Amino acid sequence: MTRIVKVDLKSELFSYTVDDKALAHARLMDGKLLLVTNAADLSAKDVVGRYKSLADIERGFRVLKSEIEIGPVYHRLPGRIRAHASICFMALILYRVMRSRLKAGESHLSPERALAKLRRIQHQKIVLNKSAPLSGLSTITQEHSQILSALSIKKPSLDPQMSLL
């Protein structure tokens, strides 16, 4: 606004003038975004493409902070910084894969809601009085099956598995 409206602060009465040339230029540029780059070898299309990917990267950081809830961690050693960045990157990739698979599977759920629903599936193992362990799996609903199918994940089962203990 200071380019368009010139205020005279030296006079005793408030007075201003409008710079018509600056106003015309502002109207010409209204609603437009000017992208400036120092990469002379990029075409206009490539510059716009890189700008749009920057917005995608910023959305990714927003997802990491809010939905994946990866907070700031203060590292000093370069190896730990790289490890933390790698974990964040993998979490974001997993989130995006989940989002795209849910969308392709025509699910209306976000990755957060899908995970919240899948957390209800539990595997239990009970040992009473040193007897043979009994295993159980919570009921898998139709909704669970649809989510697992959309994510291309095999339904959990009570197939005999090798114990890690």
- Give this prediction's pTM: 0.57
According to the model, what pLDDT value does residue 165 have?
52
| Tens of pLDDT, residue by residue, the chain (165 residues) | 788 888 888 888 888 889 999 999 888 888 888 888 998 899 999 999 988 888 788 888 788 777 777 777 788 898 988 898 888 889 888 988 999 999 999 999 999 899 999 999 998 888 888 888 888 888 899 999 999 999 999 988 876 655 555
According to the model, what pLDDT value does residue 21 have?
93
Q: Nearest-CA neighbor of 96 among 69, 133, 56, 132?
A: 56
> Residue 21 in contact with residue 29, Cβ under 8 Å?
no
According to the model, what pLDDT value does residue 152 have?
92
Report how far Cα 7 is from the mean position of its chain's Cα atoms.
45
> Rounded to the nearest 10 degrees, what angle do helices 142-150 and 78-104 cross at?
120
Handedness of CA 98, 104, 110, 113 (dihedral sign): negative
* 106: alpha, beta or left? (left if phi > 0; alpha if psi -120 to 50): left
Tally Cβ neighbours within 10 Å of residue 152. 10
According to the model, what pLDDT value does residue 113 have?
92
Q: Which residues contact 138 (CB under 8 A, 6 or more apart)?
A: 120, 121, 122, 123, 124
Q: Where are the domains of the chain?
A: 1-32, 115-150
According to the model, what pLDDT value does residue 159 have?
66
According to the model, what pLDDT value does residue 41 have?
93
3-state secondary structure of 62: helix
